[in-house]
Amino acid sequence: MSNNYRGLSTKAVHGGDKRDLPQRSLTFPIFQTSTYWFKDTEELCGYMDGKLDREEYGRYGNYTEKAAENKLAELEGAQACALFSSGMTATTFTLLGMLSQGQHLVITSDSYRRTRQFCLTYLKKFGIDVTIVPPGDYDAMEGAITKKTKLIFSESPTNPYLNVLDLEKVAAIGKKHRVKTIIDATFATPYNQRPIEFGIDLVIHSATKYLGGHNDLLAGAVLGKEPMVEAIREVRGVMGGIVDPHNAYLLLRGLKTFALRLEKQNETAQALAEFLEGHPKVERVYYPGLKSHPHHDIALKQMKGFGGVVSFEIKGSLQEGSRLVDATKIPYIAPSLGGVESLIEQPSLMSFYELTTEERLAVGIKDSLIRYAVGIEDKEDLIADIEQALEKV
């Protein structure tokens, strides 16, 4: 449902909504039911024939979930959206729905580690070949394509080094070889970048992060043209994994302030990155808004803002990084990102704890690396806090 609103904040509040909600409710209600009843067999047959737009059973759809899907589609500029119980459910069901035994997937090496793990471990069990290529190496990406290749998958920006893909190049490679392209745009959000506008076929979000925005829900979304999204919905209908009504309601709640939050997080992260880059105890800062970032020019071309995550390396060891993290007083030591509270972590001790230093280096994770996901606190407070923490390193 399109209301043709122009501004993103207006879309975030009103996009995809019906004005006359049940009982004149201002917010879309939670339809806390697993099943829906029919008044007679004529109505049932009308629904089965596709003549009635309504729901039947909670695994196939829920009115609260549909309202969130409509709003997300408006924000992303997509024809359709399918919501899932988590970002990983959205990713895995999309790959399972679009790939068959004997086919081939190309994925970049800096995609989310659980996505790579699923591709290398579980897809291979189904007889699906996977080729990993370096980020930003478009010759390698195109060179990896074979007659069996059906999908190219990547993220932009990526985690934790915030590499930014040239989406027009990726889309052109896909179209040239008749290969579908998928971008996980969780870090960018529709506020900063809308991959569909650059020719990408499908966009995935962990709605747990910026879209929900309050660190209180799990959800994932797949967006694109209706026929492809409908095919993925069919997988969801068979295998489950739909978002529950209460989480869909929380997502709708969070989306209303989405643009306001992102504007502030972009501004704060840029200021934090600039401060860190000028600090003598910081070795390097990774943030697309900095001229020093290798993909700064691409980010300028295709992004409105550069996101709320800043990664940086300190001049020191893993232990010194821990002293810095422990000395901060505002951010919580926690995984995830995109919420109103700032979060900080050392990837070596969070996502890659089970690996040795040598194994971490092999996948590009340095012991001196720290990831800071800014919330909506005042930037002056966050900078003063990280400054006093750096004094203790």
Q: Which residues are catalytic?
A: 59, 112, 184, 209
Report phi then psi at 367, rounded to 5: -65, -25
290 CB-near residues (< 8 Å, 6+ apart): 273, 274, 277, 296
For 113, the token pair is 């580690």
Q: What is the dihedral of CA 93, 90, 54, 239, to 10 degrees?
A: 30
Q: Which of 21, 71, 110 is nearest to 365 (CA)?
A: 110
Identify whether the C-beta of residue 343 lies closer than 8 Å to the C-beta of residue 375.
Answer: yes
DSSP state of 274: H
DSSP state of 122: I
- CA 73/CA 86 separation, integer angstroms: 17
DSSP state of 196: G
For 195, the token pair is 């991959």
Beta strands in the chain (DSSP E): 80-84, 104-108, 129-133, 149-155, 180-184, 202-206, 220-224, 282-286, 309-314, 332-333, 343-345, 369-373
